[in-house]
Amino acid sequence: MRAYERLLKYAAIRTPSDENSETIPSSSCQFDLAHLLVQELKDLGVSDAQVNEQCYVYAHIPASPGYEDRTKLGFIAHMDTVADFCDHDIVPVVTKNYDGKDFALGTSGRTISVSTFKHLPDLKGRTLITSDGTTILGADDKAGIAEIMTMIQRLNTENIPHGPLSVAFTPDEEIGTGASHFNVEEFGADYAYTLDGDTEGEIQFENFHACKADFIIEGVNVHPGSSKDTMVNASLVAMEINAMLPSGDTPRDTEDYEGFYHLVSMSGEVGHAELHYIIRDHDGATFQVRQQMLRHIEKLINEKWGKGTVTLTITQQYSNMSEIIKGCMHLIENAEKACKNVGVTPLIQPIRGGTDGSWLSFKGLPCPNLGTGGHGYHGPYEHITAEGMDAAAEVALELVKIYADRVGV
């Protein structure tokens, strides 16, 4: 079975995580996919496959005879999807011999256009997989799951020698808690790769340092007819705060290693207003400077409008895993080698975001990220190709072969 055929089956099982939930996992529907994957793993001969009460699937593939002393390697993908555009059944659409041009998504009125997705001509002649335009597809990250499962199948059918292997499928990655309850000891690998990237051949080990910043503004609301030197309009103070940030440091205006302040949401009236930001930067020192600027703004506003007018809360989210991966660059060198061995162009580039691998790297499991062949994630324009998935599965399989020649940690 090819990887894309597995994706079609997994995509039909809706698994949106819920950022407002206090349960683990955040949505019970994730168990539907987890139980299916456990059974498929067992059907592939992975006898210890199991899902725990928190919806983490763990499985181990013993080393081939004579390869027990090889590096313990792991592969990880997440089962949940974003909640956006996931409120009804997902209907994958398979288009063979795609012509590389603008592509209408069913009768949704949406089109995947070359002007927006400039890589589309490069997909000409491939088998394109999309939704019908009314939902996400779910390739993020069910494509990664499908590629790992395909890799395992090929290990069996082709009798490929390998060292000890670990596999995990996690919940709640999309809401930032996928690695929070990951049991590194139970997983049992020395190193791992997440398959959760975009284009096949992507190799990512640098991600943002990340935090969120919340400004709570308390105004003074009095009758506007008698408010001279008394009223403090919280909404206007909120506008003043945002104007104090560099206007060009937004996601729209930055790329590659450039960081940003991103205003996620705002609300306000005269007496009370709120600003909610996420802050991102690849450089640790610059990341600290960004936070210092926010604290300085809080200080200036309170000096101007009165103590307690503004309260700033900064919550740390994740760190740049390059700090860990730089101590074991064989992970990147071997991923690059694996790509070249199977005819895929390696694309080493930073992640403008974070992955489970970031958290796991700091929990003692160095874990860079690999591409799955997909594009346009987190919305109805999501798409992937069967050939891109084949290539991603080949890269994973080649990594198994490479680490079968590597003894110990």
Q: What is the pLDDT of residues 117-136, one digit of tens each?
A: 999 999 999 999 999 999 99
Angle between helices 234-243 and 284-305 (to 10 degrees): 140
**Torsion, CA 240, CA 243, CA 245, CA 247, rounded to 10:** 170
Q: Encode 193-211: b = buried (16+ Cβ within 10 Å), e = exposed.
A: bbbbbbbbbbbbbbbbbbb
Measured in whole angstroms, how far is the alpha carbon of residue 355 from the centre of its chain? 5
Whether 7 and 144 have beta carbons less than 8 Å apart is answered as no
pLDDT digits (tens, 9 = 90+) for 30-42: 999 999 999 999 9
Per-residue confidence band for 389, with pLDDT thresholds at 50, 70 and 90: very high
95: pLDDT strictly greater than 90: yes
196 known ligand binder = yes
Phi–psi pair at 318, nearest 5 degrees: -160, 170
Distances from the Cα of 9 to the Cαs of 2, 33, 139, in angstroms? Answer: 12, 10, 11
Whether 222 and 97 have beta carbons less than 8 Å apart is answered as no
What percentage of the chain carries pLDDT values higher than 90? 92
Establish how many alpha carbons lie within 13 A of residue 1's alpha carbon, considering only the half-sphere containing its beta carbon. Answer: 16
CA distance 161 to 158: 9
Domains for the chain: give ranges and CATH numbers.
3-206+321-405 (3.40.630.10), 209-318 (3.30.70.360)
> Helix, strand, or coil here: 145?
helix
CA distance 286 to 253: 17
Task: With residue 116 as reference, give the H or E element that holds it.
Answer: none
DSSP code of residue 229: T
- pLDDT at position 407, please? 86
Whether 232 and 306 have beta carbons less than 8 Å apart is answered as yes
- pLDDT at position 54, please? 97
Nearest to 197 by CA among 151, 143, 150, 152: 143
293: pLDDT strictly greater than 90: yes
- pLDDT at position 406, please? 86
- pLDDT at position 291, please? 98
pLDDT digits (tens, 9 = 90+) for 193-216: 999 999 999 999 999 999 999 999
**Cβ neighbours around 39 below 10 Å, total:** 11
140 known ligand binder = yes
CA distance 122 to 304: 56
Active site residues: 80, 173
353: pLDDT strictly greater than 90: no
**Cβ neighbours around 361 below 10 Å, total:** 28
352: pLDDT strictly greater than 90: no
β-pair partners for 318:
210
List the end-to-end C-alpha distance of the chain, in Å, as a whole number.
Answer: 33
354: pLDDT strictly greater than 80: no
Angle between helices 386-403 and 139-157 (to 10 degrees): 50
Task: With residue 241 as reference, give the H or E element that holds it.
Answer: helix 234-243
273: pLDDT strictly greater than 90: yes
Whether 46 and 378 have beta carbons less than 8 Å apart is answered as no
Task: With residue 23 as reference, give the H or E element that holds it.
Answer: none
Q: What is the pTM of this model?
A: 0.89
DSSP-derived pairing of the beta strands 191-197 and 73-78: parallel
223 known ligand binder = no
Nearest to 48 by CA among 32, 67, 62: 62
Q: Average pLDDT, whole number, for the chain?
A: 95
- pLDDT at position 142, please? 98
Phi–psi pair at 307, nearest 5 degrees: -55, 135
- pLDDT at position 317, please? 86
Distances from the Cα of 309 to the Cαs of 205, 215, 231, 235, 300, in angstroms? Answer: 41, 10, 12, 12, 11
Per-residue confidence band for 399, with pLDDT thresholds at 50, 70 and 90: very high
pLDDT digits (tens, 9 = 90+) for 147-189: 999 999 999 999 999 999 999 999 999 988 888 899 999 999 9
162 known ligand binder = no
